DNA sequence: ACATTATCGATATAATTATATCGATATAAA
DNA sequence: TTTATATCGATATAATTATATCGATAATGT
């Protein structure tokens, strides 16, 4: 059925973008929308949007487009945002704690239910209603709670060890914010947050832009 | 010369990964390394790595590979990590404050020198040695400091307005963590952090994995 | 000294992803 | 009621990205 073919990664990256836009449109009271309109506003290609949207299974009407509510529902269902997944977080430093209070994750169907740290000084009850426990308790608790998503916000040199513990805990997918490659079995999915990649993009493109401008001004 | 052709985005995404690996290798005392070795350890294709690395301009030696120091230098130079860029951050909430204390950014050549917020309650001197000022001061100060990179960690409905102020401030590249599409002129580069895309990937791939397992167990 | 091997850079092929085109159809206008 | 038009889904083409192949070469072993 819907899962014979995996959704292409670029599509998966764009779908949330459409969703954000569609929620905004809905708030403005727009009932139906076409790919052409979305493409104009987001400065993307309408054919690409139509294809991406089509993957989620919805069918549109010529001349009108799609019903906004149905479209939102179709995408959210495809992305599994409609059923809330529980997650654990390991590493209650600045970034980890910030995530515990980051409300948007819930919108995306991700609920951090408990956090762990190896530093007993950081284990001071709850932060944003999420309990912070010692890492010793992770494997047993996570396994019993049947949680399958783990977030690593610990320092790089602890990441591999944490990943291995997570796998013991029954974690199947790891969201890794530590700048370290994780060596895991094939049946474990790792999503690297790659803040460094973002910065690389920014710095390189900035260089490309300014170099080009310099060249242009020199040739005049 | 090196900037005639823009570096492909996938390459830009992988290069930091190699860097992290190479720094680790260097720490272990490894002096020279081949693409084959890197590929094995990172579970990637050696040809792809060779091509990515080649883009940065370095040449290797048959049978030996590359000198680790030179390779690190070549990549970091290509990514502009060697010259530190100053950045401003707008939105001193949980995430914003966490970033002010996130040491890794400096390693990637990004230095957040000042943060702004519209909420006067959040303007309480320095956090992690970074001053937090009222947003009223942003345009003038940023312009005078000739800062070209801006980070948005404010709520979604403030993002567009902040982006416009940033452009007035002389900002050329924006790293946007707010879940909102930014409408900016062509000459401004926007990198969207897309935490929601990461979550979409995780949730969908998890679904694809478990669906497949279910199917397999049913057919037995 | 010569053969063997690992690796490089370059080039060729395959796969994926993006964009363009086209007939069909629902709505709106004449 | 008929014609015009915007949009859809499907299909075809182009561009980008990934992978495979191959001759050249530096190090190593015989």
DSSP string, B114-176: EEEES-GGG--SEETTEEEEEGGGHHHHHHHHT--EEEE-S-HHHHHHHHHHHHHTT--EEEE
Question: For position B125, what pLDDT does the model report?
Answer: 82
Q: How far is A63 from chain B (nearest CA, A)?
A: 26
Residues 6+ apart with CB under 8 A from A26: A68, A69, A72
Which residue's CA shows the smallest distance to C1' of D26? B62
Is B6's CB within 8 Å of A81's CB? no
Nucleotide nearest to A46 (CA to C1'): C19
Question: For position A4, what pLDDT does the model report?
Answer: 61
The answer to whether B148 CB sits below 7 Å from nucleic acid chain C is no
Nucleotide nearest to B10 (CA to C1'): D17
A85-196 CATH: 3.40.50.720
The answer to whether B96 CB sits below 7 Å from nucleic acid chain C is no
Question: For position A3, what pLDDT does the model report?
Answer: 44
- Selecting from A109, A193, A204 the residue whose C-beta is nearest the C-beta of B198 gives A193
Question: For position B212, what pLDDT does the model report?
Answer: 73
Question: For position B207, what pLDDT does the model report?
Answer: 86
**Do A9-78 and A85-196 share a fold?**
no
A187 touches chain B (CB under 8 A): yes
The CA distances from residue B98 to A93, A121, B85, B113, B119, in Å, are 8, 18, 19, 14, 17
Question: For position A213, what pLDDT does the model report?
Answer: 77
pLDDT 10s digits, B112-123 = 999 999 999 888
Contact B187, A209 (CB under 8 A): yes
Which segments in chain B show pLDDT lower than 50?
1-3
Strands B85-90 and B110-117: parallel
What does the pLDDT profile of chain A (220 residues) look like in tens digits?
444 688 999 999 999 999 999 999 999 999 999 999 999 999 999 999 999 999 999 999 999 999 999 999 999 999 999 989 999 999 999 999 999 999 899 999 999 999 999 999 888 788 999 999 999 999 999 999 999 999 999 999 999 999 999 999 999 999 999 999 999 999 999 999 989 999 999 998 898 888 777 766 776 5
Contact A149, A110 (CB under 8 A): yes
Q: How far is B49 from chain A (nearest CA, A)?
A: 15
B194 touches chain A (CB under 8 A): yes
DSSP string, B59-86: --BTTTBEEHHHHHHHHHHHTT-SS-EE
User: Residue ranges per domain, chain A?
Assistant: 9-78, 85-196
A9-78 CATH: 1.10.10.10
Question: For position B3, what pLDDT does the model report?
Answer: 44
The answer to whether B61 CB sits below 7 Å from nucleic acid chain C is yes
**Average pLDDT score over chain B:** 94
Contact B142, B112 (CB under 8 A): no
Question: For position B217, what pLDDT does the model report?
Answer: 74
**Number of cross-chain residue pairs from A and B with Cβ atoms under 8 Å apart:** 191
Q: Considering only residues 158 to 177 of chain B, which have any Cβ-Cβ distance to chain A shorter than 8 Å?
A: 172-173, 175
Angle, vertex CA A8, rays to CA A2 and CA A14, nearest 5:
105
Unique residue bearing structure tokens 């900002």: B171
Unique residue bearing structure tokens 């080009």: A212
Is A109's CB within 8 Å of B3's CB? no
Question: For position B220, what pLDDT does the model report?
Answer: 56
């Amino acid at each position: 059925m819907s899962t014979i073919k995996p959704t292409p990664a670029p599509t998966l990256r764009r779908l949330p973008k459409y969703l954000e836009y569609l929620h905004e449109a809905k708030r403005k009271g727009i009932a139906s929308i076409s790919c052409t309109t979305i493409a104009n506003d987001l400065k993307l290609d309408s054919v690409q949007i139509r294809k991406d949207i089509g993957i989620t299974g919805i069918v549109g009407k010529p001349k009108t487009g799609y019903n906004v509510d149905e479209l939102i529902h179709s995408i959210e269902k495809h992305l599994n945002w409609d059923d809330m997944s529980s997650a654990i977080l390991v590493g209650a430093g600045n970034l980890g704690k910030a995530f515990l209070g980051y409300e948007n994750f819930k919108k995306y169907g991700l609920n951090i239910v408990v956090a762990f740290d190896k530093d007993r000084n950081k284990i001071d009850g709850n932060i944003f209603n999420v309990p912070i426990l010692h890492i010793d308790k992770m494997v047993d608790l996570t396994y019993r709670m049947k949680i399958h998503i783990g977030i690593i916000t610990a320092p790089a040199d602890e990441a591999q060890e944490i990943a291995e513990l997570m796998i013991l805990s029954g974690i199947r997918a790891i969201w890794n914010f530590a700048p370290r490659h994780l060596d895991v079995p094939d049946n474990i999915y790792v999503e690297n947050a790659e803040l460094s990649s973002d910065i690389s993009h920014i710095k390189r493109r900035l260089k490309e832009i300014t170099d080009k401008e310099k060249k242009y001004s020199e040739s005049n």
